[in-house]
Structure 1
Amino acid sequence: MIVRTIIYTAMLASSVVALAHAEAAGKKLTLLTGPTEDRLISAFSHEFDNKAKAAGMTVTQLTSPFDPALQAQQLDDAIGQKPDMIVLQPLSSGAVTPGLQRAKAAGIPVFLVISQVDKGDGLSVGTMALDDFKSGELAAEAMIAGLKAGGRQTAKVAAITGSLAEGIAPRRLEGFKARLAKEPWITLAQVEDAQWIPPVTEQIAGQMFTKYAADGGLDAIYGMNDAMANAIIQAADSAGIDLGTAPGQLLVIGGGCQESGIRNMQAGKQYATLSGPLPSYDGPKAAELIADYFSGKDIPKLSVTTPLEVVSRGNLDSYAKSCSF
């Protein structure tokens, strides 16, 4: 009798979930993102698409090579197609805000993914995004820990960032600077915008190494994602700069928990990364929240993605698989 009750309860729970998402079946979504050549965007898109299709929704994706003007045009085109929802990775708050206002006027709900829209209250029904200020803080925490591990009492550091025009990178840099400001023994000597592009990052890093060579070199560099950190490491290898925590070595901090970061940490070339965003969590969760929306459920205006923590040698094994996308 107890077994039958358990089985019946499990079947009932499964039926409730299926019914809860029944209203999502047949809904048409237009997904607007950056380029799928970017490993994070590609992995997120794949995970999102699989979960959305499992709920009976169809997804049409339009991509832009990190071109805000092109994405703004794509957003207008999507509004003209009148999908049931637009799912948007905003590349520029300023560029997409007029389109978001037109989508709202047209009665088309918008769900934001990967990044937020500055001053975009009321323009979307929900957001699935990273706490970028916290991400920057934790990157600084990792850098501080690595510098202390090497016994350094003074340090000269730099940051090579994603696009600082608006969006993700300024929020991360703000958190990074705020945490470093509490450590007067660390000097943030230079910040350069590489617009998320690894070859540009490598070039900037090489220029930094030349600039500071006569003054003892840099002690650490923060690359805002692991692809950028990998570019910094490549530049250091080309310049003959040793990598590590010891005085005289260069400490490299990344972010985004990507395959290159895991590989470089395993090789001892990168000190730390961060645990998110993780497409294997964020993509399905975003699709689930959208299905909940169509089912009439209240969803949060902002859903913070994967809980963030520093990933270093001590907990690397627990993240190696999920971060290797």
Structure 2
Amino acid sequence: MKFSRFLLSVAATAALLAAPIAASAADLMAVITPSHDNPFFKSEAEGASLRAKELGYDVIVLVHDDDPNKQSELFDTAIARGAKAIILDNAGADATVAAVKKAKDAGIPSFLIDREIKETGIAVSQIVSNNYQGAQLGAEEFVRLMGEKGNYVELVGREADTNAGIRSSGYHDIIDQYPDMKMVAQQSANWSQTEAFEKMESILQANPDIKGVISGNDTMAMGAWAALKAAGRDDIIVVGFDGSNDVRDSILEGGIKATVLQPAYRQAQWAVEQAHDYLTKGSTGKDEKQLMDCVLITIDNAPKLETFALK
């Protein structure tokens, strides 16, 4: 009898020890983004992670560094860890399709933020900022600041990123309506501050008469502004896109003139909420493709901007 009770006690203890591990694996949510060196992506990760924990999930936060091969490996990690859902800011519109399909085949739904992929029906949600609408807002302000005339430069994001092309199109659909606005250089700086600094130095040497720079994101805008300041050309108008704290501070200091806020933090939280609805109710109740409108940030509302959200 005592031996039987001992066996029962051991079995009960083992079950108790195993229970937290099983619950953790069952309630895990994976958040995968580009490098947190960019505050935009860090904000996504923080927003998603916090909201998932509020909803009772354990979270693993992973970084793919815009490398599709690394992204695929991270999907393998999420699958192996038994994640219930994946929140993703992806590493390429084409290259990501296979990874999302792999997760779907493993029974793990994906909820995309910020960047779309080229196929529908394999991710549950694709929640992106209305980049075209936002770019038009930024371009309208840029034209106004330029006085509707003058030579300008455009810094474009990564060519493999759909958002880079959409933003550029939105800019030009406004700016090209003004015949006295002349683009003298258009170069990709791959969303990089360092690369934007280097590109801006070279462009400025070849085109000293430029009056403005419009950038596909705030990180490149900061690089361009640093190069312009180093050259003593803080008279040149710079407009960015994202709504980062760094550019907010520059606007308040009289440096960069404007940016366009895309609500990264809230967008990531929204994706987690939809993942939770899908897991608990079987549906998000929304279409796969969803757009969130952007907001123009100038000296007037910059004090209200904090971590890619307006207070």
Counterparts of 1:242 and 1:110 in 2: how far apart (Å)?
A: 44
Counterparts of 2:137 and 2:36 in 1: how far apart (Å)?
A: 27
**Are the equivalent residues in 1 in contact too, given 2:126–2:289 (CA < 8 A)?**
yes
Counterparts of 1:123 and 1:69 in 2: how far apart (Å)?
A: 19
Q: CA deviation at 1:210?
A: 0.2
**% same residue:** 20
Letter aligned with residue 58 of structure 1: D
1:180 match: 175
For the structure 1 residues 158 and 319, does the alpha-carbon distance in structure 2 shift closer, same or farther, using more than 3 Å as the test?
A: same
Matched residue SS, 1:93: coil
1:139-162 C-alpha deviation (Å, 9 max, x unpaired): 2111111112xxxx5311111122
Equivalent of 2:287 in 279, 283, 300: 300
Matched residue SS, 2:234: coil
2:135 match: 136
Matched residue SS, 2:95: helix
CA RMSD of aligned residues (A): 2.2
Matched residue SS, 1:271: coil
Counterparts of 2:280 and 2:90 in 1: how far apart (Å)?
A: 25
For the structure 1 residues 71 and 322, does the alpha-carbon distance in structure 2 shift closer, same or farther, using more than 3 Å as the test?
A: closer
1:68-91 C-alpha deviation (Å, 9 max, x unpaired): 222133224433444221221111
* Pairing 1:270–2:274 present: no
**Are the equivalent residues in 2 in contact too, given 1:160–1:192 (CA < 8 A)?**
yes
1:127 match: 126
Q: Which blocks of at least 5 consecutive residues in structure 1 are unaligned?
A: 1-24, 244-249
Counterparts of 1:189 and 1:73 in 2: how far apart (Å)?
A: 42
2:65 match: 65
Q: CA deviation at 1:29?
A: 1.5
Matched residue SS, 2:267: helix
Equivalent of 2:223 in 223, 228, 231: 231
2:273 match: 288
**Are the equivalent residues in 1 in contact too, given 2:43–2:308 (CA < 8 A)?**
no
Runs of 4+ in 1 over 4 A off after TM superposition: 320-324
Counterparts of 2:26 and 2:50 in 1: how far apart (Å)?
A: 15
**Are the equivalent residues in 2 in contact too, given 1:163–1:195 (CA < 8 A)?**
yes
1:8 match: none
Counterparts of 1:55 and 1:48 in 2: how far apart (Å)?
A: 11
Equivalent of 1:196 in 187, 191, 198: 191
2:50 match: 50
2:210 match: 218
Counterparts of 2:160 and 2:61 in 1: how far apart (Å)?
A: 25
1:206-252 C-alpha deviation (Å, 9 max, x unpaired): 11110012xxx111101222222121111011111132xxxxxx110
**Are the equivalent residues in 1 in contact too, given 2:49–2:61 (CA < 8 A)?**
no
**Are the equivalent residues in 1 in contact too, given 2:32–2:45 (CA < 8 A)?**
no
Matched residue SS, 1:270: coil
**Are the equivalent residues in 2 in contact too, given 1:158–1:221 (CA < 8 A)?**
yes
Q: CA deviation at 1:108?
A: 2.0
Q: Which blocks of at least 5 consecutive residues in structure 2 are unaligned?
A: 1-24
1:208 match: 203
* Pairing 1:166–2:182 present: no
For the structure 1 residues 127 and 321, does the alpha-carbon distance in structure 2 shift closer, same or farther, using more than 3 Å as the test?
A: closer
1:254-278 C-alpha deviation (Å, 9 max, x unpaired): 1111111111111111111112234
Counterparts of 1:310 and 1:112 in 2: how far apart (Å)?
A: 24
Letter aligned with residue 239 of structure 2: I
Counterparts of 1:321 and 1:203 in 2: how far apart (Å)?
A: 27
TM norm structure 1: 0.81
Counterparts of 1:167 and 1:302 in 2: how far apart (Å)?
A: 14
Matched residue SS, 1:300: coil
Match runs of 1:23-34 below 5 Å: 27-34=27-34
For the structure 1 residues 200 and 53, does the alpha-carbon distance in structure 2 shift closer, same or farther, using more than 3 Å as the test?
A: same
Q: CA deviation at 1:36?
A: 1.8
Counterparts of 2:301 and 2:93 in 1: how far apart (Å)?
A: 35
**Are the equivalent residues in 1 in contact too, given 2:93–2:160 (CA < 8 A)?**
no
